[in-house]
Each structure stands twice: as structure tokens, then as C-alpha cells.
Structure 1
Amino acid sequence: MSMGSHLDQLYRQVIMDHYKNPRNRGEIEDGTITVNLNNPTCGDRIQLQMLIEDGVISEAKFVGEGCSISLASASMMTTAIKGKTVDDALKLSSIFSDMMLGKEYDDQSFDLGDIEALQGVTNFPARIKCATLAWKAMEKGTGKKDIQY
């Protein structure tokens, strides 16, 4: 087996782990920003809740339904943004967007960790909206304008 197929297999395992054992699934009780988005192309739906205190995302949780890519991405995203400033979370979202579009992306500013497992989605253009749904919800919730889906 080539190195590339070992890496693909590892990435599939990471995605399936986040799908079957989602991190931060659930709801936050009080003081939250709530964003509901759906992907009409394939029916993915997400409700993202965030608690932002003094410019820092102190809590992030999601509920929803959809494919393994969309739910794994939501799990990875909520894990990645907790404890980050809103500005850093938006920078991370921009890096993720570049990665999804097959552009060169900054992999030095942040440890992307499990998020890099979604890199293979670029080979399946119809699935990019699945992977970016939670990220678009986060952008909308933090006040970034012009979020369209």
C-alpha cells in the first residue's frame, strides 16, 4: 500500500471517529448565540451555539443531522474554536475555506489537527458545502457579513 493510501485511510478513520463520536454535540443553556443553517443540496442541517465572553469563544456546541462529512466537520470545528478569540476563529475559518477550495493555505498559524483530515473533500466538489456548513454558521454567529448558503 502506498503512503498516499495509508494517509487516505487514516483521514477516513479520523472523519468516521468524529462522526460516530462527535465532540461538543448538544446545547448550551444560557447566554448563547444560536445559528441555524442548512445545506439544501443534500439536506444537512446544523444548529450551532456559541458563548462568547470578552471576545473569546468560551463554549461551542452543535446539534443537527446530515452526512458524515458535515457532522464530523462540526465536531472538529467546535473543538478547534473553543478558547480562541473571535478573530482567530475567523482566521481559522479562512484557512479552512482555502483548504476546501484547493488553494494554498496557511498551516503554520494554527495546528489544524484533525481538521486536515477533511482535505480530501476537495476531490469531491459536491461535498465541499457539507464540510463548510458548520464553519459558515460560526462565521455568521460571530458577525461576519454576507454569509450565503
Structure 2
Amino acid sequence: MNDLDQLYQQVILDHSRERHGSGALEAPDSTSHQVNPTCGDEVTLGVRVRDGRIEAVGWEGDGCSISQASISIMHDLVDGADLTTVARLEGDFDALMHSRGRGVDDSVLDELEDAAAFEGVSKYPNRIKCALLGWIALKDALLKAGVPLDAAKAD
């Protein structure tokens, strides 16, 4: 394992232990409960949206270190962000996860910050769902709140 892989592994372990944004969100605009039936990972995510921004995100979940770390990192990326940025980040992370280990442009990795640590996860199709679980919950919660990310991508 090279130094970068070790660093990425440590980022995932750190976020799975110290879960940013963990805890039920008080007075969410909407929530989404998602389960990965393959391995049993689950998350209930709440979101509040104000003036085209994610005002707050909170979540409760259980599962493997990949799913829990991904949700923690996603929280850091989107909490307080405008919806156009959230839509771009979601698209970038989805592209990373479906790259099958071929990677993405360095500019995308820079934009994803700690989420770039999941580049190695994309080599393992059975783990991709783990990493995407929180993003799926976020998209669903935003859709339920009447703020579909697909509309924000068009802006």
C-alpha cells in the first residue's frame, strides 16, 4: 500500500469513528431513510433548506466504516452550501464512485476534499453502494422538500 492509499484509509477510519453531523436534525424540512440491502448499512438523514442553501444536515446511521465515513464527509461538504454546489459535488462523487478505479480529474478530487479518499473504493463494486448511501438519502430528502438536485444542476 502506498503512502496516499494509507492516508486515504486513515481519513475513512477517522470519519467513521468521529462522525461529523451525526445526530437527528431538529425540525427538518424532510427526512429520508435509506438501507443498503446488500450489507445492512442504513441512514436516516434530515435536511433544512433556506434561500437556496442547505441550512443544516443531520443524520443517524449504522453500518460499515465506508458508509458512515462517506456520510460524515458528505455532511462537511454540503452543510451550509448552496444547492448548485451541492448538485455539482453529488455529480462529482457519483462520477468518482463509478470510475471503477480509473480515477477522475485532479480538479474533481480537489473539489471533493476528504471525499477523494473514496477513490480506491470505486474499484470494488460491492462497496460503491456503501459510499453512495448518504448521497442517495440527501437527494431523496431534498426531493421530498421540493428541492430536486437535478433542477439545481440545470442552473
Q: Alpha-carbon deviation of 1:145?
A: 8.3
Alignment partner of 2:27 out of 21, 25, 30: 30
With normalisation by structure 2, the TM-score equals 0.85
Q: Alpha-carbon deviation of 1:9?
A: 0.5
Alignment partner of 2:50 out of 38, 50, 53: 53
- Equivalent-residue separation in structure 2 for 1:145 and 1:91 (angstroms): 9
- Equivalent-residue separation in structure 2 for 1:7 and 1:69 (angstroms): 17
> Which one-letter code corresponds to 1:67 in the other structure?
C
Q: Cα deviations across residues 77-128 of structure 1 (Å, max 9, x unaligned)?
A: 0110011122221211010000001166465376321100011101211000
> Which one-letter code corresponds to 1:16 in the other structure?
L
> Which one-letter code corresponds to 2:134 in the other structure?
A
Partner residue in 2 for 1:139: 139
With normalisation by structure 1, the TM-score equals 0.88
Q: Could you tell which deviates more after superposition, 108-117 or 46-55?
A: 108-117
Specify which structure has the higher proportion of helix: 2
- Equivalent-residue separation in structure 2 for 1:114 and 1:107 (angstroms): 13
Partner residue in 2 for 1:14: 11
- Secondary structure at the counterpart of residue 111 of structure 1: helix
Unaligned runs of 5+ in 1: none
Q: Is the 8 A contact 1:86 1:142 kept in 2?
A: no
Partner residue in 2 for 1:108: 107
Unaligned runs of 5+ in 2: 151-155
- Secondary structure at the counterpart of residue 108 of structure 1: helix
Partner residue in 1 for 2:124: 124
> Which one-letter code corresponds to 2:45 in the other structure?
L
* Cα 1:81–1:107 shift into 2, 3 Å: farther
RMSD (Å) for aligned C-alpha atoms? 2.0
* Cα 1:31–1:122 shift into 2, 3 Å: closer
- Secondary structure at the counterpart of residue 16 of structure 1: helix
How many residues align? The count is: 143
Q: Cα deviations across residues 9-36 of structure 1 (Å, max 9, x unaligned)?
A: 1001000000001101001111432111
- Secondary structure at the counterpart of residue 59 of structure 1: strand
- Equivalent-residue separation in structure 2 for 1:36 and 1:47 (angstroms): 4
Q: Is the 8 A contact 2:87 2:149 kept in 1?
A: no
